[in-house]
Chains A and B, each alone.
Chain A
Amino acid sequence: MENENTNKICFSINNISKTFHYENGPVLDIDKLDIYAGEITAVLGYSAAGKSTLMNLLALLLGHDAKPGAEIHYCPSHYQQPYSKLSSHQKRKLRCEHFGFIFQNHHLVKHFSAYNNIMMPLRQKQTVGKHAKEIVAELLYSAGINRKIWNSLPATLSGGESQRISVLRAIAHNPKVLFADEPTGSLDPVTGDIVIKMLREWYEKDKTRTIIVVTHNFNQAYELASRFIIFQNGKIVFDGRKGREISGINDLFDKIQEL
């Protein structure tokens, strides 16, 4: 599963915590964590363990607590500064050009058709015109989306269709990092497997891409990811890779059971 890119650090996290005003203590507290490029990392744990918070912090959807030494670096060679030092323009540029997002509830723009939802990151990236249309059409065809629903609004789509559109929207602008927060959480197992397969195929096309997936589904996580980080109460309790610390799916279940 590993490739030659995994030695490149994609995210470097030091002494990070996140406290919400409505919580008594931090929901996330990490001393040191590196996430490597070209790797699919699964973030696992029970509810309220801090998995989504970590993903939101990495994806610049949320800011971490300000404290001395707290730093998140993205691909250190890209920006020489930690997140806390980046301007809002730099953050937007990262989200627009480098990151892609899949949300649990698909979060499609409700008034855009399926087609226009996929077009949205391309417009934002200024990839417009014929080229953009070709990209979107190719994605829709490759994902086997019925031509009839291309112009349908999300409200008229099924959950599976919506999530597949959501995946296509996340990968349309060819991001370097894909964040997937419970991508199969609201789907039935069969549809969930289709989504996992789409992610796997996208990764296989270019293994320099990084995927960080937050999930409850350990089977799908094991099938998709090569690295597994398990959270409990905002702290990392396990960090291991397939073929090293994790020898099989049962091994992964055991680790979870130990929590």
Chain B
Amino acid sequence: MKIIITSMKYFEFIFHYALRELFPISFNGNKIKSLTASVLHNLRTCIPTFINILVITLMIITVLSMWGIMTGTELILNKSLEKDSRLLSIDAFCGGTGTEKSILRAKDIKIIENITDRNNISMIEGVCGWNDVSVRFFKLEKNHLKLDDIYRDGRTVNINDKILLQLKYDVMVDKKRKNNNGIIIGRSLLHTLGYPDDEKPKVLFIQYKGKKSPLPVLGIVKNLWNGDFLMPEKFWREYQSLSWIPEPSHLDFYLGPVNSKNILSIKKSLDKVCDLDSMKINVCERAGETFWLHFLLSGKGWTEKYIRNEFAKGLYVNIGKEYLKFLKNSRIEMGNASLQEERIGFKRGLDDYNSVTVFVKNIDNVLKVMKKLKNMGMNCDNRLAEDIIWANQLKQFSSRLFFVVVGTVSLLVLINIYLSFTQKIHSSIPEIGILKAFGHGGLTIIIIQVVETFIIWLIAMPLGTFAAFYAGKQTETFIINTFHLDVQLRMFVLTPEIILITGIASLAAAGFAAVVAAFFAALKNPSEALSYKK
């Protein structure tokens, strides 16, 4: 019990001394004037402590804001690398040069999905099998793409495939997605076809059965390779089997030539067949002599097939072939798909794949997965491996740069903290002499200095942390505004780990300085300490 009481009294003295040394406050008088003078005097006497707190606070602000910015920048760099789906997606092919495997079946997809690392943790985010398709596009308001790039290679996907979740849509044209007969394209394909950046076409024109046919655009995405496009498998089957019936856009018909004698009877016949209020028939002149009837058909019910087989038939019957012909038609003669072709088309569209895209969870695992795919008999695009190696080198460089910059700043800050606290203790050496003269030991002197250091740190740490948040945010804004950066993520990141490490490091540096300086001060004999000149 006596030991406890003695210890309590001892530490009471330590804290009393430490607090008094840090904040030598005393109030004299009871009048406002004398109290004000006391307060001012007290503030003045506390200036050395305030300076010490300020030094530590500034040091903490410097380290935290620097560290926060560097961490944020590194995170942005890593995220931007990992966010780039091209670096996380491996395209593997079979059936070509350098491949042992000719075709990929559903079970192969399963095997790829189950690739794990040494710790049996899955490395695969998703797998998507592909069937390459070629479609002939029309350039915007022009003819086909030029001969050497007539066919653009796209891929078919199941509507439930994970690839559709990976896509980053610029525009989802068909939001309802009720009808999946259409195409998902990249912005780059639109560029190739001559569309300006801001144009978002609802249809593209492709060659189908030898004619220019409108194909609805389901969505425009950012992350497709140049020229690639996606088609739902269901649509592709229809397309291959020639059973796809494209919606007509506008059909211009010119009938004639007509003269003033027969024009009324033709008009009457048309009215009888069409029986539509919306159809407007114009009489126009061609070559200065002959007159033609021009009319426009549009609307969902008016398929070309109907127009050809029903409307025109009725027209011929009522008017007679010898008097009438189609002068100009946007559609040329359509063929009929045979059942055999249709079956082949269905087969090609469904079961097998000739390439696969493997989505890897972590950029560090991409090369390992590529190796495994090669072992399975597939060939991978080596450009990805080169990109990954480059990305890894970039990450390593950024990490080393981060280490050097933050390490150097931290070291300088720690040295400053050390010097600041050494200086503080040196200024207290005469007091240390008094303590020793009155019988206090070296250990007591060291403990007092450590407690003082701890109190200063305890005040400086939260101040520094809050100020660092503000300083870091301001620095972030300054950098972003100055360099006009388009950063989606935060550039200034302060994690609890960073704050903890900075706190521990600053306390350790200050504590170390306090212990060392107090140790050497305590080694002085009282007489020497008392006569120490500051």
A interface residues (Cβ-Cβ under 8 A, vs B): 56, 59-63, 88-89, 92-97, 101, 103, 107-113, 116, 120-121, 123-124, 126, 128, 148-149, 151-153, 155-156
Contact = CB atoms under 8 A, between A and B. Distances in A.
Interface stretch (B294-302, B404-412, B427-435, B496-504): B427-435
B6 A107 contact: no
Contacts of B433: 107
A219 B442 CA distance: 40
Contacts of A149: 28
Nearest to A148: B28
23 contacts: A56-B527, A59-B437, A61-B436, A62-B525, A95-B437, A95-B438, A107-B430, A108-B434, A110-B24, A110-B431, A111-B20, A123-B9, A123-B13, A124-B438, A124-B439, A124-B440, A128-B9, A148-B28, A149-B28, A151-B27, A153-B24, A153-B26, A153-B45
Interface in B247-265: none
B472 to A, nearest CB: 36
B451 to A, nearest CB: 14
Contacts of B438: 95-96, 101, 120-121, 124
A116 B439 contact: no
A60 B526 CA distance: 8
B439 A151 contact: no
A92 B530 contact: no
A192 to B, nearest CB: 21
A126 B9 contact: yes
A169 to B, nearest CB: 9
B21 interface: yes
B96 interface: no
Contact of B26 (A96, A97, A103, A113): A113
Contact of B437 (A101, A113, A116, A128): A101
B29 interface: yes
A95 B24 contact: no
B41 interface: yes
A101 B437 CA distance: 8
Interface string B13-38: 10000001100101111000000000
Interface in B106-135: none
Contacts of B98: none
Contacts of A121: 438-439
Nearest to A115: B26
B317 to A, nearest CB: 118
B83 to A, nearest CB: 58
Contact of B434 (A93, A97, A107, A123): A107
Nearest 9 pairs between A and B by C-beta? A96-B439, A111-B24, A61-B527, A61-B526, A95-B439, A62-B527, A56-B527, A92-B439, A111-B21
A112 to B, nearest CB: 6
Interface in B496-534: 525-528, 530
Nearest to B22: A111
Nearest to A125: B439
Contact of A109 (B29, B431, B526, B527): B431
Contacts of A89: 441
B437 A61 contact: yes
Contact of A92 (B21, B24, B27, B441): B441
Given A61-B527, A155-B45, 4 more contacts: A61-B526, A62-B527, A95-B437, A111-B45
B21 A126 contact: no
A54 to B, nearest CB: 12
A228 B431 CA distance: 32
Contacts of B29: 148
B504 to A, nearest CB: 29
Contacts of A96: 438-439
A21 to B, nearest CB: 11
B530 A107 contact: yes
Nearest to A156: B41
A176 B198 CA distance: 99
Contacts of A94: 439
A237 to B, nearest CB: 24
A88 B441 contact: yes
B201 to A, nearest CB: 81
A33 B525 CA distance: 24
A115 to B, nearest CB: 9
A149 B34 CA distance: 13
Nearest to A151: B26
B439 A93 contact: yes
B430 A151 contact: no
B327 to A, nearest CB: 109
Contacts of A108: 434
B9 A97 contact: no
Nearest to A108: B434
Given A61-B527, A92-B440, A116 B13 contact: no
Contacts of B526: 60-62, 95
A218 to B, nearest CB: 25
A155 B434 CA distance: 16
B443 to A, nearest CB: 10
B530 A103 contact: yes
Between B26, B27, B436, B530, the greatest number of chain A beta carbons within 10 A of the residue's beta carbon is seen for B26
A79 to B, nearest CB: 15
B320 to A, nearest CB: 122
A38 B13 CA distance: 33
Contacts of A88: 441
B270 to A, nearest CB: 111
Between B9, B430, B434, B438, the greatest number of chain A beta carbons within 10 A of the residue's beta carbon is seen for B438
A60 B439 CA distance: 10
A153 B525 CA distance: 26
Contacts of B13: 123-124
B442 to A, nearest CB: 8
A96 B199 CA distance: 92
Given A95-B437, A95-B438, A101-B437, A63 B525 contact: yes
A182 to B, nearest CB: 13
Contacts of A156: 28, 41
A152 B530 CA distance: 22
A60 B26 CA distance: 33
Contacts of A153: 24, 26, 45
